[in-house]
Amino acid sequence: MTAFGVSRLAFRGEERCAEPGRTDKRRVVGHRKEYFEDSLANGKNLYYVAKICLSTTRNAKRQAMRRAIYPGSFDPVTNGHLDVIQRACRLFDELTIAVAFNEQKEKATLFSIDERIELLKQTCEHLKNLRVIRLSGLLVQAAKEQDMDAIVRGLRAISDFEFEFQMALMNRKMQPSIETIFMMPREEYTYISSRIVKEIARLGGNVEPFVPKCVAEALAKKFLV
């Protein structure tokens, strides 16, 4: 096959890679005909050229994905959090849960940062487009470094809005390219908060209607007398 023939195939997005022992149909997108002509004219292996193109295609596809980050302390994660997480996973191709870590406030949390991350992983193991990370710096800086398109925030009531609105404006000032998306949980979860759940558990109440099963078990162990 001539260099020009290979270029025409590659330019319209189809190529056969002559890897030893097999013939494989590949997709190569976004390269000019001249690149293939020059590469082959200079004696570069066809498989090597196609491999470079495939890598470029994967990177382009990754850049086209819609990504969002959902920050919070999640001490512990509640059914209200889970509702927002599940719906955000349907809106975005990839959702990152950023568990806030503040060394000065760590003693004030019921669960350690590692425990909170583990509880989130157990709670969200059925969501394949989700990952959990530790957040110890500026949210917008982490979002920028990881090419996020949006920040997801949950709003339970009007009382949440003033603070969240102020933070959204500040984040936009620092990083104009990242949007803030406000999501309201379902009505049955609007009154649930991590603080109230911990207080119920501390006083011996049943928290199973308000948190995932693994969290209810972890709370029972924390307050076991």
Residue closest to 101 by CA, chosen among 146, 139, 137, 140: 137
Say which of 16, 33, 51, 156 is annotated catalytic.
Answer: 156
Say whether the peptide bond before residue 76 is cis (omega within 30 degrees of 0): yes
Maximum Cα–Cα distance across the chain: 80
CA separation for the pair 156, 103 (Å, rounded): 27
Among residues 105, 134, 186, 213, the one annotated as catalytic is: 105
Q: Is 81 a residue of the active site?
A: yes
Task: Find the catalytic residue in 31, 39, 73, 81.
Answer: 81
Contacts with 86 (C-beta within 8 Å, 6 or more apart), sequence order: 127
105 a catalytic residue: yes
Rounded distance between C-alpha atoms, residue 165 and residue 58, angstroms: 36
**31 is annotated as an active-site residue:** no
Structure token pair of residue 5: 């023939």
55 is catalytic: no
State the Cα–Cα distance between residues 209 and 180, nearest whole angstrom: 30
- Give catalytic residues, as residue numbers: 81, 105, 156, 194
